[in-house]
Amino acid sequence: MPPRALDPAGVALVDKPAGPSSFAVVSQIRRLTGARTGHAGTLDPFATGLLLILSGRATKLAPQLVGLDKRYLTEVDLRARTSTGDPEGDVVETLEPPDERELERRLATLRGEIELPIPAASAVKIGGVRAYALARRGIEVEMPLRRTTVYALDVVAYNGATVTLDLRVGSGTYVRAIAHALGGHCRTLRRTAVGPFEIAEAVTPDAFEPRLLLAEADVLARVERSRAAEGEA
């Protein structure tokens, strides 16, 4: 196969729907551009929201974008834990939802620097094999811990069974692990921001056109301004 084209170059802000994998969305954009294509962080198939898809020469920007903070909205069902931490898994434990005081106590333990097990249904390799592949075979393994930062974890709504949370987290944070630590699983998950890039700027995969690519210089300038603002805060 000949090497992919370096043009058009830029970054696409795409609003991923629930269902397809992130790689399917990347492939859809690649078919439209005909260029080399990459990404700056994936979303699970059930999740929706912002994907940064890199086209052409802009694929070299990946190291500067994958480490950006992320922001999410998630609805957590506190009545049950599942094998995957999301609605696609089997229920492995049913629980009594906490009252508001207990919920806030649990949330307080999940703000700041935290360390939680990586979900079993993840792409992390255990002994050279993807964890999700082991989970599908019914093989239980001890998952490694990952240290991340939760900058903000706020309750949007709580009805006594499910809680909607607004989170801003460091790169590499598994929201499903946070839901599990709270005593539930993610019913929905939507990424609303990646660093300075917000979902309001994104288009659906079907609405994407190459002319919508953000220029490399503009992307870098926004990242630099964002980091400078964080340094002044």
**E-assigned strand segments in 118-184:** 125-126, 129-130, 145-158, 162-169
Domain 10-66+196-232 architecture: 2-Layer Sandwich (3.30)
| Structure token digits, residue 172 | 């590499």
Distance between CA 93 and CA 76 in Å, rounded? 14
More confident residue, 128 or 215: 215
Alpha helices in 18-167 (DSSP H): 22-33, 62-65, 100-108, 131-136
| Structure token digits, residue 59 | 């694929």
Give the predicted TM-score (pTM) of the model: 0.89
CATH number of 70-193: 3.30.2350.10
- pLDDT score of 230: 79
Active site residues: 44
Distance between CA 167 and CA 78 in Å, rounded? 17
Q: Which neighbouring-strand residues pair with 169?
A: 70, 150
> 186-204 pLDDT, tens per residue?
999 999 999 999 999 999 9
Residues 6 or more apart whose Cβ sits within 8 Å of residue 37: 4, 26, 27, 29, 30, 53, 54, 55, 59
The mean pLDDT of 199-213, rounded to a whole number, is 97
Could you tell me where in the chain the CATH 3.30.2350.10 domains are found? Answer: 10-66+196-232, 70-193
- pLDDT score of 104: 97
- pLDDT score of 131: 53
More confident residue, 206 or 147: 206
Distance between CA 221 and CA 202 in Å, rounded? 18
Q: Name the average pLDDT for the chain.
A: 89
- pLDDT score of 1: 40
The mean pLDDT of 58-85, rounded to a whole number, is 95
- pLDDT score of 227: 86
